[in-house]
Each structure stands twice: as structure tokens, then as C-alpha cells.
Amino acid sequence: MAHATLSHAQYGKDNVRVYKVHRHPDKTQSVTEMTVCTMLEGDIAASWTKADNANIVATDTQKQTVYVMAKQHPVNPPELFGAILAQHYIDTYDWMTKAHVWITVHRWTRLEVDGKPHPHSFLRDGEEKRVVECTAERGTGISIRSGIMGLLVLKSTGSQFWGYHKDEYTRLPETRDRILSTEVEAGWNWRTFKELAEVEKEQTAFDQAWKDARTITLETFAKEDSPSVQNTMYLMSEQILEKVPMVDSVEYKLPNKHYFEIGKLGLPYNPLLVLLLTSSTDLSWFKGLKNTGEDAEVYAPQSDPNGLIQCTVTRQGSAPKL
Ligand code: AZA
């Protein structure tokens, strides 16, 4: 038998779906739906190496705890609920050193009926998610990362890409006017909270930061005549750091979802491509229709491949996260 060491282990329950209703005194109701993942770390190696489960808090127990905590505590803002849950696990099980809680919040936006907000009906207006990751670590405190995922945006002009390195492999033409579309994944890392009481004290900051980050993302995307995805995401990150003093770093991950005007690509001659071009957006084959350059109106959205641009922007003076 080879010498082996268990170098890392964690376990928990994933995809715990929870819905909570809040009934207000004025008879209106609010709802929250989320998917939770919990993971524990600590003195648990014996389960892997010696088949000894004595220190294993069953994943079912972790799941039941999610429901009980959701009943006994507010589930909003999700950062607070995640911190309550993570702290609960390390307070309750003294051999656990770290508890991770990931929360994905699904959209239920209040319906407008007859021009008024409806008291108890909601709409799933898009697949955008608000996400939170909380880790409670014994002796260190609570670290929180908040974010947005799946926010799909497109602008039909106001985006350029030129001045990039060119060599024998380059075929992409420069452009001063292109379509830009991406599915935003953004995250912001809060400075470490010493204890749960501190998270509770600062709880109004979480919703405000989410609103600010979302507005900054959407408005910068719309307003800037973007020279590149790289520059646009950097401008977004800078503004979030400026707006939210308790955030130490901001991350963006943006796919560049291409919309091709095939006539512009300068594809090499290839008989197969001739076939492809007859089904492309170069429509000259049909009675000389013009659909390239200034005349381009019909484009081919590409599923893949896509560019993928990422960055982390850290507040000066705070340690970069490793
Ligand atoms: N950044 C962009 O914004 N667009 C691109 C890139 C890039 O790095 N590469 N091709 N197109």
C-alpha cells in the first residue's frame, strides 16, 4: 500500500432548497427562495482514513439545521443568514474548525397588477442570482463574499476593440463599433468580521452594496464607449471599491458572447466555408442583399467559443486574497 495522507477534507449538503414567507401586519407578504450548500471542516479525517464516523455531523443533520435556522432567524440579507448558519455549526460542534455556507437567492419580484404592487404575487424576472459565500473559522472570524451571477446584458453599439497585438496568427479585424454581450459574474469580498455581532451590526450594508454593485455594473456597461471588456470591468471594480468602504476586493468574470458578422471575419478560402457562407449573415447570395459593414443588420449569435475575461481589483493597503 502506498504511503498516503489525507491532505484536505470537507463535506456537507448541497442544493438545499428553502422558501420562506414573511407575512406583514398590513396583510402583504414577502417571499425568499434560496438554494443553500453547507460544508464543514475540522477533526473529521478518521471518517475517511479509519472508517470512524464519530465526529461526522450527518449531511442530513446539516440540512435540517438549515430549515430550523431559517425558521428561527431572518433569511435576509443572505449575508446575515449565511453568517448565522456558519457560526452555528462551529459553535455547536467544537471539533469543527471551519463552516462554509453558500447561498444562491432566486428572483421573485413583486408583480404589478392594475398599476399597483400586488400583495402576494411574484414573477421570476430572469435567471440572475444574488450569491453569498460565508465562512466562519474558529479563532479568525467570519469572511463573506457577495456576488451577482447570470446577469445577461447586451449593447448593440458603443463598444470597440482595436490596438491589440497582431502577428501571423491574427485574423480578427479591428472594430470601432461592435455588439457587446456578457453574462455578468461579479463578486465583492468584505473585510473579515470578528464575530457574528459585527455582521448583525453592519447588516444594512449588504443590501445596499448589492444594489450599488448592480447599478454600477449596468450603468457602466451602458454608458461607457467600451474600448475592451478588460477596461470596462476594471472601471466597474474601481467604482464598487469607492462606493463600499467595507469591501477589500472586487472580482469580475465576463464571457464575451460574440455576435458575428461573418462577412467581416476575413475567413481563409476553403470549399467547406463556401457552404458555410451560404448559410451565414453575408446575404449577397440572395439577390445581392447587403448585410455587411455599414449595412449589417442580421448577425449570427455564437454559442461557443467565447472570450473569457477576469480580474480581481484590490483596495490599496489591503492584503490581496490568496
Ligand atoms: N477583449 C475584448 O474586449 N474583446 C476581444 C478580445 C479581448 O481580449 N479578444 N478578442 N476580442
Per the annotation, the verdict on 258 as an active-site residue is yes
Instruction: Based on the residue annotation, tell me whether 217 is a catalytic residue of this protein.
Output: no
3: its cell numbers: 504511503
Pocket of ligand 1, candidates 261, 265, 309, 311: which has the most ligand atoms within 8 Å of its Cβ, to mutate? 309
Q: If you average pLDDT over residues 42-61, what whole number do you get?
A: 98
Provide, rounded to the nearest whole percent, the portion of the chain with pLDDT above 70: 93
| Residues 302-321, mean pLDDT to the nearest whole number | 88
3-state SS class at 49: helix
- For residue 253, how far is its CA from the centre of ligand 1 (angstroms)? 13
One of 20, 35, 59, 312 is an active-site residue; which one? 59
Q: Could you give the CA distance from residue 146 to residue 187 in angstroms, rounded to a whole number?
A: 6
Residue 202, pLDDT > 80, answer: yes
What's the pLDDT at 117? 98
Distances (CA, A) of 315 to 2, 189, 321: 46, 11, 11
307 lines ligand 1 (CB under 6 A): yes
* Pocket mutation for ligand 1, best pick of 159, 160, 161 (most atoms within 8 Å of C-beta): 161
Sign of the CA dihedral running 151, 306, 180, 223: positive
First to last CA, the chain: 35
Q: Residue range 86-115: average pLDDT?
A: 98
**What is the model's pLDDT at position 272?**
56
Strands ordered across the beta sheet of 129-137: 11-23, 29-42, 96-106, 129-137, 141-155, 180-190, 247-256, 307-314
pTM over 0.85, yes/no? yes
pLDDT (0 to 100) of residue 248: 98
pLDDT number for residue 317: 79
Q: What grid cell was written down for 186?
A: 461579479
Is the confidence at residue 267, as pLDDT, over 70?
Answer: no
276, pLDDT greater than 70? no
Give the single-character DSSP code of 290: -
Instruction: Report, as an integer, the average pLDDT of 67-76.
Output: 98
Confidence at residue 263, expressed as pLDDT on a 0 to 100 scale: 59
* The pLDDT of residue 273: 53
Residue 8 annotated among the catalytic residues of the structure: no
Count CB atoms within 10 A of the CB of residue 5.
7
